[in-house]
Structure 1
Amino acid sequence: MQPSGKWRLRVNSDGRACSTPSSISKTSFDLAEVRPGQWHDFVFEFNWSHGTDGTIDGWHLTHKSPGWRKVVSATGANTFNDDASTHGYLKWGIYKPAWNSGPTAVASRTLLHDNIAVGRSFSEVDPAAG
């Protein structure tokens, strides 16, 4: 969750053949409002590319708001060009960028994950399908 109160997708990319900290592009997309105590389902479709032909589409669903809602549709670089074998990948979790700069007012953080799947179509990964 961000200060905006939304789930956020961050995409790092670089079209250069050798990435440096200053050449990496960091793009963020606010996806949906965080509602503690509810399960949030997300499905993403990526066309990994370090060029302009990369795409990201994402959908969101909660059990209290049935029906998939498209929350992101983006084009452009979404991975790195460091070598021919470089492909995009996903990471998820609780990220506190300033973790080493001192304590925060939050005493604990809990995030549960389930039904994580990778597939070639929406229906293969649809968590609502069981």
Structure 2
Amino acid sequence: MPKRSEYSVKLYDSINYIKFLSFSFKVPNNLKFDEENLGRETMICQWHSKPAPGKGWRAYKKYMKYNRPSVALYLTTNNNQDYYLLLRYGNNGKSQFEKKDYKWSTITVQKIEIDKWHDMMFEIKWSFTNAGYIAVWMNNEPFTPFNGMDNRAYGPNMHNESPAYFKFGQYRYWDDSNDQEVYFDELRVGNSFEEVSIYENLPKMFQEIKELYFIKNHK
């Protein structure tokens, strides 16, 4: 069985750009994992880096060996009854990478219903620093957790100056013998919530940020 069935979309989201993307997906109720693959993850979508400007894939593979995508959304189950969506974000931290201390982290894990359409919306700011962030909504509700100030997960998300490209569709372990399907619809890319939302009302925004007032205790 093939281990991947993906479509790629060339995006041109460079440093300090804020972009919005949405799509809908459905996991049919006949999707099952092998017993050996329970607890493993099937990729739903990802943003993946490319070679640095002026470099080719040979140099990329040499210096970014085993790199992971900057953003990845996965499906997983431990029992073929309860299914979960898992979001990872950041950089891979491999030893050859000059920003090796920047980690690729699990941001959130949420249970989903199978045989039901789920609407995903992403807001991403691309950066080499902690100015970068991702915010995600599922079914018009915040998917990324509240951090005490807003629902963004902050951190670097670029391996080099080349814009990441977007891929959606399954990418799974090669040794799962089951046929698996995931359905996609309503892919939208834009510069605002209005351009990518499929809802009449925009999603709930971040929880209101409270203004902080600092008292200067000096003369």
TM-score by structure 1 length?
0.70
Q: Secondary structure at the match of 2:195?
A: helix
Q: Give the unaligned 5+ runs of structure 1.
A: 62-67
- Aligned ranges 1:99-118 → 2 under 5 Å: 99=174, 102-104=175-177, 107-118=178-189
Q: What is the deviation of 1:120?
A: 0.7
Compute the RMSD of aligned alpha carbons: 2.8
Q: Does 1:26 align with 2:119?
A: no
Q: Percent of counterpart pairs with the same letter?
A: 25
Alpha-carbon distance in structure 2 between the residues aligned to 1:111 and 1:15: 30
Tell me the amino acid that sits aligned with residue 129 of structure 2.
Answer: G
Q: Secondary structure at the match of 1:90?
A: strand
Q: What is the deviation of 1:111?
A: 0.6
Alpha-carbon distance in structure 1 between the residues aligned to 2:168 and 2:114: 17
Aligned counterpart, 1:94: 170
User: Does the 8 Å CA contact 2:90/2:155 hold for their aligned counterparts?
Assistant: no
Q: Secondary structure at the match of 1:124?
A: helix
Question: Which of 1 and 2 has greater Rg?
Answer: 2
Aligned counterpart, 1:77: 156
Q: What is the deviation of 1:12?
A: 4.3
Q: What is the deviation of 1:127?
A: 2.2
Q: Which aligned segments of 4 or more residues in structure 1 are displaced greater than 6 angstroms?
A: none
Alpha-carbon distance in structure 1 between the residues aligned to 2:180 and 2:123: 28
CA displacement, residues 44-89 of structure 1 (integer Å, 9 cap, x when unaligned): 100111211101111110xxxxxx2111120011221x2x3x2233
Alpha-carbon distance in structure 2 between the residues aligned to 1:58 and 1:35: 18
Aligned counterpart, 1:10: 88
Q: What is the deviation of 1:31?
A: 5.0
Tell me the amino acid that sits aligned with residue 165 of structure 2.
Answer: Y
User: Does the 8 Å CA contact 1:6/1:31 hold for their aligned counterparts?
Assistant: yes
Alpha-carbon distance in structure 1 between the residues aligned to 2:182 and 2:176: 19
For 2:122, which of 29, 38, 44 is the aligned residue? 44
